[in-house]
Amino acid sequence: MFCFSLRLRIAALAALAAFPQFAHAHGIVGARFFSATITSDDPFAADELALPTISLGNHEEDYEFEYTKSIVPRFSVSFGGGYVDSHPPGEARAAGWENLEITPTWQFVTDADGEFVVSAAFSVEIGGSGSAAVADRFTTFTPKLLFGKGFGDLPDSMALVRPFALTGVIGYAIPGTSTASRAIEWSGAFEYSLLYLQNNVRDVGLSNTLARLTPVVEYSFTSPTDAGGTTGTIDPGLIWSGQYVQFAAEAIIPVNRASGDTLGVRMQLHFYLDDIFPQSIGAPIFGSRP
């Protein structure tokens, strides 16, 4: 067992010597570490597991998961779903499993110096794979463009702004039926990395535990193109990123009446599989780890 592990490590180091650019992983581009966001997709094709993501509020409870597996470096496929318990006032209670959603993602731009990453994804929500009570019977296809940008390249005069980063997703949801509206889905996050502040800008004396906190404001909107107005939420919260896991908690604030009439909360436990299992299920199936 030990010899096998040692051989794997030697092979990995040999690959690193041959291809030194192949050496980053989940959420890291250059000096920037992007925490995994919980409302919007993050732009990295990495081995991760979000289990569970619990959302409470607006007369509904959701218990969701997402597993992402890298197939080759910078190309992954994620599988997501969950259980919904909905009980809007004056309506019948509905509970059951959501449709399974499969999303291949290709991270095709990674600029370490600019702390910039761009990915393309194509989500397929498989109609009928969930419970009839809560899930659509038709399939929905959503091509997406995702990006992340750290502000570490700002001049010294703006040093305290460098820990900021922005991520974004824009997608176009195409339902496989004429009875449902197509929609533009846009979401993302604005975050301030205390780790980046402490290590790359100014040591403000934070403990190692506190420095791993990232205040974040996420946003998530849907704008139907056929009929109806934009709905969405603004979600301020905190993400704590450890060596192997991260914890996140956010408030859910509806932006208008059509988006909901109560505040909510969302919490997530997220595992960095590439760190937990670096030589097995946390590594790409083919090729070296990116």
Partner 1 sequence: MIMRIVVANALFAGLASAASAHAFLERASPSAGENLRASPARIVLHFSEALEASFSDVRVTDKNGRDMAAGPSLAYGTEMDLPLKTLLPGRYRVSWHAVSVDTHRTEGKYNFLVLP
Residues of this chain, 159-178, that bind partner 1 according to CB under 8 A: 159
Regarding 277 and contact with partner 1 (CB under 8 A), the answer is yes
Rounded to 5 degrees, what are φ and ψ at 110?
A: -140, 105
Residue 33 vs 186, nearer CB to partner 1: 33
Contact code string over 27-56 relative to partner 1, x by CB under 8 A: -x-xx-x---------------x-xx----
- Using alpha carbons, select from 73, 17, 66 the residue that is nearest to residue 37: 66
In order, the DSSP letters of 38-104 are SSS--S----EEEEEEEEEETTEEEEEEEEEEEEETTEEEEEEEEEEEE--TTS--EEEEPPPEEEE
Residue 260 vs 290, nearer CB to partner 1: 290
Those residues whose C-beta lies under 8 Å from the C-beta of residue 158, and which sit 6 or more positions away, are none
Alpha carbons 57 and 48: distance in angstroms, whole number: 26
Please pick, from the candidates 1, 2, 3, 17, the single residue that binds partner 1 as defined by CB under 8 A: 17
Please pick, from the candidates 94, 245, 249, 255, the single residue that binds partner 1 as defined by CB under 8 A: 245
Candidate segments 68-76, 133-141, 166-174, 265-273, binder of partner 1 by CB under 8 A? 265-273
In order, the DSSP letters of 93-134 are -EEEEPPPEEEEEEEEEEETTTTEEEEEEEEEE-TTSS-TTT
Residue 144 vs 289, nearer CB to partner 1: 289
Regarding 243 and contact with partner 1 (CB under 8 A), the answer is yes
The residue assigned the tokens 């992983």 is 25
Candidate segments 68-76, 85-93, 143-151, 198-206, binder of partner 1 by CB under 8 A? 198-206
* Interacting residue ranges for partner 1, rule: CB under 8 A: 9, 12-13, 15-17, 20, 23-25, 28, 30-31, 33, 49, 51-52, 63, 83, 112, 156, 159, 195, 198-203, 208, 243-245, 269, 271-272, 274-279, 289
